[in-house]
Amino acid sequence: MAIHFTGLSNQSTINKSERSQKDDATNSATDKQSSVQSGGTLAEDTVKLSGTAQTLQSQQSKISSLPDVDMDKVEQIKNAIAAGEYKIDTQKLANNMASMDSLF
């Protein structure tokens, strides 16, 4: 069974013959799956993640385990300010502020 969403901007337009070919391919796959079922019981639904999805999932779990604030970096900056060694690049700061302003 094919599911077609309407109103999505990134969905490509297909003509009637292409849709019927895709529906036929989907129906034949469904028929094959139905033939696997035996004894009147329903087959279980399964989901298989692609390699990209698995990578994204593992990266998300790694990121979620990281702290929100890098306390080592905070301590380095505190020590540099206390020692009078912290230098601010005003041009870089102004450019960053301008680029952030353009986002809104």
pLDDT at residue 10 in the model: 47
pLDDT digits over 86-100, tens only?
Answer: 999 999 999 999 999
Is pTM beyond 0.85? Reply is: no
Q: What are phi and psi of 91, to 5 degrees?
A: -65, -45
Query: Which residues, including other chains, have CB under 8 Å from residue 19's CB and lie 6 or more apart?
Result: 2, 4
Among residues 18, 16, 19, which one has the least CA distance to residue 1?
Answer: 19
pLDDT at residue 43 in the model: 76
pLDDT digits over 5-49, tens only?
Answer: 555 444 455 555 566 665 666 655 555 555 555 556 677 888 888
Q: What is the 3-state secondary structure (H, E, C) of 13-67?
A: CCCHHHHHHHHHHHHHHHHHHHHHCCCCCCCCCCCCCCHHHHHHHHHHHHHHCCC
